[in-house]
Chains A and B, each alone.
Chain A
Amino acid sequence: MPVDASLATLSDQLFAWAIVVYSIALICYCGEYAFGRRGRVASTSPERALVTVGAGSTTGSTGTSAGAPAEPAPGRRRQADRFGRVAVAATALGLVIELASLTTRGLATDRWPWGNMMEFAAVVGAVGVLTFLGVLVKQPQVRYLGMFVLLPVVVLLFLGGTVLYSEPAPLVPALRSYWITIHVTTIAIGTGIFLVSSVATLLYLVRRRWELAVEAGRTPTRFPVTLGSRMPTTEVLDRMAYRTAAFGFPIYTFAIISGAIWAEAAWGRYWGWDPKETWAFITWVVYAAYLHARATAGWRGTAAARVNLIAFGTMVFNFFIVNMVVSGLHSYAGLT
């Protein structure tokens, strides 16, 4: 099947536009963050664990200002809210453009548009954004965290459009099976969800350091920790990290199984410890360890959060390092 060149070009243009629109969204989230107050998010969380202080007052000490969070001026608040709304709208628009780019790519090549690293990265980014929008529906108060979700997504798409870029092309025969569609789709969905989970976990760790410092009566001054002042409570972040991970885990599990079913049909064995399979296994085991850690005394909180990050790290390793450095069956996929 020949590749439709004009559609392929359109797809590439849409891809670039998606990056641009996401970047605008990213800037707007930053705007919301800059104008916003820190108290709001924290105080709308069900557990009022820590008394939080208002925005801007970097010197404000906690314990004393109970019940009187310093509010920013209403004007600033409206400003922040406007930024936030524009940001969400831009995020949604970016997602639509990205999906359009994927669709045109699929039409151009007459196959599902996730047959190489670039397309896979695009799908992961889209799922990450979609997951975040899903979280927003349930927890609107974490809106400005979109900044931290979109940052890796934009980086990922940028890499996809540059380093990982490949011309739209048909697939090699071993990849022509509906199982690959299922397998790669679910892996991408799982990865996108885990991306959001790890962002929440990262923020959790920052916020946790901030809370500890504040509890000890210190005012955090070092960079990532200072961000903690404007974040949701550890509870909210921990729950967001856990929910997304728990949502992604069965999907990822199914993805690995569908990969095994495909491998059985294509290569004669359902599991062969090929490097790509091995790292998928490692990722799976570490996520299982994360879910365990969340239920193990002495491991909850920071330790479990670290496990979540390690798990995502193994996933990133599998995508970049194993694909590009370590060779295996997956790299040339079947018969030559």
Chain B
Amino acid sequence: MSTPVRDVDVDPGELSTQPAPVEPPRGGPLAHLRNAWRRLTSMRTALVLLFLLALASVPGSLLPQRPLNPIKVDQYIADHPQLSRVLDAAGFFDVFAAPWFAAIYLLLFVSLVGCVVPRLKQHALAMLRPPPIVPRRLDRLPMSDSYPASGTPTEVAAAATRALRGWRTVTRTEDDGTVTVAAEKGYLRETGNLIFHFALVLLLGGIAVGRLLGYQGTVLITEEDPGICNAAPLYDSFRPGRLVDGSGLAEFCIDRLDDYTTTYEADGTPAEFRADITYSAGADGAPTQYPLRVNSPLRVEGLRVYLVSHGFAPQFTIRTPDGTEVRDVSAPFLPLDGALLSEGAVKLLDTVDPQLALFGLFAPTAARSEDGTIRSLDSRPNLPAVAVEVYRGDLGLDSGAPQSVYAIDQRQVTNGALKVVANVLLTKQSPTVRLDDGTTITYEGYREWATLQVNHDPGQTVVLWAAGAIVLGLLLSLSVRRRRLFLRITPASTAPGGSVDNSAPVDDGSPPDPDGRTVVAVGGLARTDAGSYDTEFARVVERLRDTSELRKD
């Protein structure tokens, strides 16, 4: 009842989307294989795999994922230890790299290739082959009409063919003198469909190239400090693709962070983040300046450089009683919240003896919370202050155990090697603290730092092109409609009801013409979604009728 039109007309094999008949396997393993392949490349399997793909993505969005947020994953594991063991083993904390996820999309793409390659061949043949034989009964097609015409069937057919511009036509003459014209249009639909599906494969290929050969390095640079060059060990963190060993990376250096600026709206929300950097790239390596902003990365030498985050690095000057003065020591403090309350540690190892360290919180617009601790009201440096604990003793860096640059090794505190000797709030107004041994520590202000990310993805351009082809293919295949038009032009003598020949094939659907003129029966058929073919059909028939009338004169 709601049978789509496409079922009305099926040339066996061509364009059929029916799953290939799955016969019970006969004979040896080869038959089994062939059968499995047919199953895999059927539309039904593609559907199931598409569902599986969608379903398998769901946990990737609802469970915390390692590549996005490892801290949240640890938190989750701590909260649900029992469940997490199973989830973790099954790869649920990195779904999109899990083997079962890969299995689904790889099977889908195997199915896709297995499905689309034969279609490519069929489509190529279909473009070469003339439109099919005209059916006997055109009035049984979804659209049909008929009209009388003057002239012989051959003349009428020739006129019709001329009128059917843009259609592919073939004219055939049948034994009884009937002339048929078969016309077809809308081949671009299948072309678009093929472009779309092949572009999907290309897209996957581009992604794979990026995964294998791309890399990503992150580095935090403070204003006025020296920068780094593009080499794996120099980054704070480096994520190489599967086939990247870290050598032979593109020649590129970030020489300096010249200046970091945030500009603000009147209401205090940030309007723009901007890091002015000097870089040198390529063999000649001339230093060049670039204003790095969000949404406007630096693109050079196949690399892209992004401004990822920013923060403050408070500066201090330390004077010891023996006259030693260490100027402008600083370290980046890491933001803890949106108002840029930041935490970090400044460590003095060799310049003073015993070693000193400052650990604390920096607030760009400082205020006291109820519990007495410092907090920040605003990310703008309106009222900067730093609350520090001063540690003296052995920082434990010689032990060889790794420690964070942003924190104090608490083991040294518990074993007594490191002692808190002061706990103060330093501001512009009262910048200095004097320790019990006469050492003074003076807060001098701050510098700003920026985290920059250097990315390389050789597959990205391919992905972009593939994406473009995907849209193009879709537009073609979903807007173009493959449609056919048939003409059956019966000469006056053989028209049923005509006076001469009663042996003519009866009841072929064409109505008899009372005047014994040539009769043109027209039928139309859309191969897929019919769209507005009915109105187009009416228009075309009108045009055909006109041309046949004209020929009368």
Give chain A's interface residues, CB within 8 Å of chain B.
1-2, 46, 49-50, 138, 169-170, 172-174, 176-177, 179, 211, 233-235, 238-239, 242-243, 246-247, 249-250, 253-254, 257, 260-262, 264-275, 278-279, 281-282, 285-286, 288-289, 291-301, 314, 322, 326, 328, 334-336
Q: Are A296 and B47 in contact (CB under 8 A)?
A: yes
* Most chain A C-beta atoms within 10 Å of own C-beta, residue among B6, B47, B96, B216: B47
Q: A296 contacts B50, CB within 8 Å?
A: no
Contact of B295 among A174, A293, A299, A328 (CB under 8 A): A174
B467 touches A257 (CB 8 A): yes
**Does B2 reach chain A (CB closer than 8 Å)?**
yes
User: Can you report 21 A-B residue pairs in the complex whose CB atoms are below 8 A from each other?
Assistant: A2-B265, A169-B269, A170-B265, A174-B295, A247-B478, A257-B468, A257-B470, A268-B297, A268-B453, A270-B463, A271-B207, A273-B61, A282-B58, A285-B54, A289-B54, A295-B43, A297-B19, A299-B47, A335-B270, A335-B273, A336-B340
A288, B53: Cα distance in complex, Å: 11
Partner among B295, B455, B528 whose Cβ is within 8 Å of the Cβ of A269: B455
Q: Does B401 contact A (CB under 8 A)?
A: no
Choose one: A250, A278, A334; the contact of B294 (CB below 8 Å): A334
Q: Are A273 and B65 in contact, CB atoms less than 8 angstroms apart? A: yes
Contact A170 B460 (CB under 8 A): no
The residues of A that contact B50 with a CB separation of less than 8 Å are: 285-286, 288-289, 292
Inter-subunit contact A138/B295 (CB<8 Å): no
Are A336 and B338 CB-contacts (below 8 A) given A250-B471, A273-B60? yes
Residues of B with C-beta under 8 A to A285: 50, 53-54, 57
What 16 additional pairs, Cβ within 8 angstroms, besides A268-B308, A286-B54, A292-B43? A2-B265, A172-B269, A179-B295, A247-B478, A250-B478, A257-B471, A265-B297, A268-B304, A279-B61, A292-B46, A295-B43, A296-B47, A297-B18, A297-B19, A299-B44, A300-B2
Q: Give chain A residues whose Cβ lies under 8 Å from the Cβ of B269.
A: 169-170, 172
Q: Are A278 and B266 in contact (CB under 8 A)?
A: no
B61 contacts A275, C-beta separation under 8 Å:
yes
Give the shortest distance, in Å, between A176 (CB) and chain B (any CB). Answer: 7
Q: Are B46 and A174 in contact (CB under 8 A)?
A: no
A265 touches B295 (CB 8 A): yes
A261 CB, min distance to chain B CBs, angstroms = 8
Shortest B7–chain A CB gap in Å is: 9
Q: How many A-B residue pairs have CB under 8 A?
A: 156
- Are A322 and B47 in touch, CB under 8 angstroms? no
Instruction: Please tell me the size bucket of the interface on B.
Output: 35 or more
How far, in Å, is B71 (CB) from chain A's closest CB?
A: 13
Q: From A238, which residue of chain B is reached at the shortest CB distance?
A: B2
A143–B133 alpha-carbon span in the complex (Å): 41
Q: Is B67 located at the chain interface by the 8 A CB criterion?
A: yes
Among A2, A239, A242, the residue within 8 A (CB) of B266 is: A2
Residues of A within 8 A of B19 (CB): 296-297
Min Cβ gap A184→B in Å is 14
Mask, B29-63, CB within 8 Å of A = 1, is 00000000000000110110011011001101110
Task: Enumerate chain A residues within 8 angstroms of B470, measured Cβ to Cβ.
Answer: 253, 257
Residues on B with beta carbons closer than 8 Å to the beta carbon of A322: 61
**A336 close to B61 (CB less than 8 A):** no
Contact with A along B334-370 (1 / 0, CB 8 A): 0101101000000000000000000000000000000
> What separation, in Å, do the CA atoms of A282 and B95 have in the docked complex?
14
Return the chain A residue nearest B379 by Cβ: A336
Interface string of B258-270 (1 = CB under 8 A from A): 0000000111011
Kindly provide the distance from the CB of A232 to the nearest chain B CB, expressed in whole angstroms: 12
Q: Which of A172, A233, A272, A278 has the most CB of B within 10 A?
A: A278
Instruction: Give 1 or 0 for each of B87-104: 1 = CB within 8 Å of chain A CB.
Output: 000000001100000000
Chain B contacts for A265, CB-based, 8 A: 295-297
Inter-chain contact A266/B61, CB cutoff 8 Å = no
The smallest beta-carbon distance between B379 and chain A, in angstroms, is 8
Complex CA gap A295/B455 in Å reads 42
The reply to whether B61 and A173 form a contact with Cβ atoms under 8 Å apart is: no
Indicate which residue in B44, B294, B338, B478 contacts A173 across the interface (CB closer than 8 Å): B294
Is there contact, CB below 8 Å, between B467 and A297?
no
Contact string against A for B residues 18-32, beta-carbon threshold 8 Å, 1 for contact and 0 otherwise:
110000000000000
Contact B62 A173 (CB under 8 A): no
Closest chain B CB from A326 CB (angstroms): 7
In the complex, what residues of A have CB within 8 A of residue B17's CB? 295-297
> Which residues of chain B have C-beta atoms less than 8 A from A2's C-beta?
265-267
Q: Chain A residues near B321 (CB, 8 Å)?
A: none
**How far does the Cβ of B385 sit from chain A's closest Cβ, in whole Å?**
20
B290-325 near A? 1/0 per residue, CB < 8 Å: 000111110000001011111000000000000000
Q: Of all chain B residues, which has the CB nearest A288?
A: B50
Chain A: CB-nearest residue to B3: A300
B1 contacts A by Cβ under 8 Å: yes
Question: Shortest beta-carbon distance, A160 to chain B, in Å?
Answer: 23
Whether, in the assembled complex, B13 has its beta carbon less than 8 Å from a beta carbon of chain A, the answer is no
Residue contact A235 to B2, C-beta cutoff 8 Å: yes
The CA of A235 and the CA of B2, in the complex, are separated in Å by 6
Are A289 and B455 neighbours in the complex by a CB distance under 8 Å? no
Q: Does B532 contact A (CB under 8 A)?
A: yes
Task: Provide the bound-state CA to CA distance between A262 and B6, in Å.
Answer: 40
| Contact in complex: B57, A282 (CB < 8 Å) | yes
**Cα of A179 to Cα of B269 in the assembled complex, Å:** 21
Residue of A nearest to B271 (CB): A173
Given A273-B67, A289-B54: A300 and B294 interface contact (C-beta under 8 Å): no
CB-defined contacts of B295 to chain A, threshold 8 Å? 173-174, 176-177, 179, 262, 265-266
Chain A residue numbers with a CB within 8 Å of B2 are 49, 233-235, 238, 300-301
Say which residue of B1, B57, B270 sits within 8 Å of A172 (CB atoms).
Answer: B270
Please, which residues of chain A bring their CB within 8 A of the CB of B467? 257, 260
When distances are taken between beta carbons in the complex, the residues of chain B under 8 Å from A234 are: 1-2
Query: Is A273 touching B96 in the complex (CB atoms < 8 A)?
Result: yes
Tell me the complex Cα distance, A234–B3, Å.
10
Chain B residues in 8 Å Cβ range of A249: 474, 478
Partner among B294, B304, B310 whose Cβ is within 8 Å of the Cβ of A174: B294
Q: Are A253's CB and B44's CB within 8 A?
A: no
Q: Which residue of B lies closest to A335 (CB)?
A: B273
- Shortest beta-carbon distance from B163 to chain A in Å: 25
What is the distance, in angstroms, from B47's C-beta to the closest C-beta of chain A? 5
**Taking the complex as formed, is B272 at the interface, i.e. its CB lies under 8 A from any CB of chain A?**
yes
By beta carbon, the residue of chain A nearest B470 is: A253
Across the interface, which residues of B come within 8 angstroms of A268, CB to CB?
A: 216, 297, 304, 306, 308, 453, 455
Task: Tell me, yes or no, whether B78 is within 8 Å of chain A by CB.
Answer: no
Taking a contact as CB atoms under 8 Å apart, the answer to whether A278 and B270 are in contact is: no
Q: What's the Cα separation between A171 and B271 when bound, in Å?
A: 8
Residue pair B47, A292 in contact (C-beta under 8 Å): yes
Which positions 449-499 of chain B face chain A at CB distance < 8 Å? 453, 455, 457, 460, 463-464, 467-468, 470-471, 474-475, 478
- 7 closest Cβ pairs, A-B complex: A278-B61, A275-B61, A289-B50, A250-B474, A268-B306, A296-B43, A177-B295
Q: Which residues of B contact A336 (CB under 8 A)?
A: 309, 335, 337-338, 340, 379
CA distance A270 to B534 in the complex (A): 43
The answer to whether A274 and B455 touch across the interface, beta carbons within 8 angstroms, is no
Q: Shortest CB–CB separation between residue B216 and chain A, in angstroms?
A: 8
Q: Which residues of B contact A169 (CB under 8 A)?
A: 269
* Binary interface encoding of chain B residues 174-202 relative to chain A, with 1 for a CB under 8 A from any of its CBs, else 0: 00000000000000000000000000000
When distances are taken between beta carbons in the complex, the residues of chain B under 8 Å from A172 are 269-270
**B464 proximity list for chain A (CB < 8 A):** 261
How far, in angstroms, from A271 to B211 measured CA to CA in the complex?
12
Q: Which residues of B contact A269 (CB under 8 A)?
A: 455, 457
- CA gap between A239 and B50 in the complex, in Å: 23
